[in-house]
Amino acid sequence: MEKISIEKHNQLKGEVIIPADKSISHRSIMIGSISRGETFIDNFLKSEDCLWTVDVFRKLGVEIIEQGENSYRINSDGCDSLRQPESELYFGNSGTGLRLACGILAGSSLSCVLTGDKSLSSRPMKRITLPLKMMGADIEGPDEAGHLPLRIRGRKLKGINYISPVSSAQIKSSLLLAGISASGSTSVTEPFKSRDHTENMLKAFGADIKIEGLKVTINPTGNLQAQHIRVPADISSAAFFIVAGLITGNSEIIIKDVGVNKTRTGLLDVLSQMGADINIIGKSPEAIEPLADICVKSSELKPFVIERNIIPRLIDEIPILMIAATQAQGTSLIKGAAELRLKETDRIESMSDGLSKMGAKIDVQGDNIYITGPTNLKGAQINSFSDHRTAMSFLIAGLVAEGTTEVKDTACIKTSFPNFFKKLMRVVA
Ligand code: S3P
């Protein structure tokens, strides 16, 4: 089992290039694969999760050609050109890959079996199989909760008007992708707005899509048209370096070309509430998604309150915000973080386990989390529970902890951020 040890550091300096956005990389392969013509993807994230998506769409007969280090060219004749795969479709650790592909496959003419690793196999899929079945999908699983493996027998779907009980871009995207080839229009309304990369990309590829507040509607669209996509750096990966720069004394780092779509920047809003010294240098909106450079200096932090409505805009950043909270003067509160329990692991459990071992003052009451700082964290042996964001969060905590912090089971970091530790070591002075 891979493990990484880290010691306390006094300073972070320099410029960091963060790998590409995971959500946008998945979508670029999927939407490129069902669009007619040649789609070019630059700065694709070659992490394990996204490479499984490439593998799945190749198994579905799509020509996906590597062009240089992080670029792909996709040749497709559109939606109807997907071919019957000869084997199961394996999605590794990726909920996004699997849930979005379900939407595409449910309305196809193919019969497929979808599988994943141990963590993905234990995550609930009913949240997508239920509304897809309302659209007429034929999906079978081993149990009521919709666990893997899933067998999908593609067929013609009908549009529905779905009021989602949770804010989830994966649910919304799965239904919108199913809606492309359904009869009639498909609408999804969510309680609070989740990331809108699918809407942005589908619009750019020519889909008939309408956004009215929290409701998104797609009308059946003939063939989508291939495009050129440049994927920005992932703000969810940048988050680890942003917090590292804030909590490590005398630091100043610049993170280049980060995607700053406002459905993803809840982290920056919370850090501004904390009094963080962060400067965002916006760039002219490039193609489909906006970019910025983010400059971070070490800061005295105030505590935060995270209300339910902002959670979809920072869902993946809560673990690293919990580390930031241990260094703030006072009690921070995260309200109603139930969705965190359904990620690659139960992140409320994994984070409170490690934080308690490091001596942090954390109190979990149901789905509310209270953290009181500032605490001089102590190095400890930390279990990542095979979750990439838990593992990276504790390596950042290790930068300010006394002694050695050893994070066990760190191979999972490759699912979203290959070379994370190497990049971190480059900026520690
Ligand atoms: C994602 C959506 C979020 C997020 C995940 C990526 C996406 O999940 O946690 O890492 O790319 O659509 P939910 O939709 O389940 O909230």
Q: pLDDT for 5-53, tens place per residue? A: 999 999 999 999 999 999 999 999 999 999 999 999 999 999 999 999 9
State yes or no: pLDDT of 286 exceeds 80: no
**Ligand 1 proximity of 96 Cβ (cutoff 6 Å):** yes
State yes or no: pLDDT of 151 exceeds 60: yes
Spatial contact of 163 and 145, defined as CB atoms under 8 Å apart:
no
395 — pLDDT class (breaks 50, 70, 90) = very high
3-state secondary structure string across the chain: CCEEEECCCCCEEEEECCCECHHHHHHHHHHHHCEEEEEEEECCCCCHHHHHHHHHHHHCCCEEEECCCCCEEEEEECHHHCCCCCCCEECCCCHHHHHHHHHHHHCCCCEEEEECCHHHHCCCCHHHHHHHHHCCCEEECCCCCCCCCEEEECCCCECCEEECCCCCHHHHHHHHHHHCCCECCEEEECCCCCCCHHHHHHHHCCCEEEEECCEEEEECCCCEECCEEECCECHHHHHHHHHHHHHCCCCEEEEEEEECCCCCCHHHHHHHHCCCEEEEEECCCECCECEEEEEEECCCCCCCEECHHHHHHCHHHHHHHHHHHHCCCEEEEECCCHHHHHCCCCHHHHHHHHHHHCCCEEEEECCEEEEEECCCCECCEEECCCCHHHHHHHHHHHCCCECCEEEECCHHHHHCCCCHHHHHHHHEC
**Ligand 1 proximity of 316 Cβ (cutoff 6 Å):** yes
Please check whether the domain covering 3-20+232-426 is classified as CATH 3.65.10.10.
yes
State yes or no: pLDDT of 429 exceeds 80: no
- Looking at residue 402, its pLDDT comes to 98
- Looking at residue 160, its pLDDT comes to 98
Q: 3-20+232-426 with 22-230: one CATH topology?
A: yes
**Ligand 1 proximity of 170 Cβ (cutoff 6 Å):** yes
Q: Which atom, in ligand 1's list, is nearest to the CA of 26?
A: 11
Among the CATH numbers 2.40.30.70, 3.65.10.10, 3.40.50.10260, 3.60.21.10, which is that of 22-230? Answer: 3.65.10.10
Cα of 425 from ligand 1 centre, angstroms: 28
**Ligand 1 proximity of 23 Cβ (cutoff 6 Å):** yes
Q: Which atom, in ligand 1's list, is nearest to the CA of 100?
A: 12
CA angle 143/144/146 to nearest 5° reads: 75
pLDDT digits (tens, 9 = 90+) for 192-251: 999 999 999 999 999 999 999 999 999 998 889 999 999 999 999 999 999 999 999 999
Ligand 1 binding pocket mutation candidate from 194, 198, 263, 317 (most atoms within 8 A of CB)? 194
- Looking at residue 244, its pLDDT comes to 98
**Ligand 1 proximity of 94 Cβ (cutoff 6 Å):** no
Cα of 169 from ligand 1 centre, angstroms: 6
Tell me which of 316, 346, 367, 387 is the catalytic residue: 316
Nearest CA to ligand 1 atom 4: 316
Domain spans in the chain, listed from the N-terminal domain onward: 3-20+232-426, 22-230
Ligand 1 binding pocket mutation candidate from 315, 345, 415 (most atoms within 8 A of CB)? 315
State yes or no: pLDDT of 298 exceeds 90: yes
- Looking at residue 285, its pLDDT comes to 65
Interval 62-81 mean pLDDT: 96
Interval 276-290 mean pLDDT: 85
Q: Does 80 participate in catalysis according to the annotation?
A: no
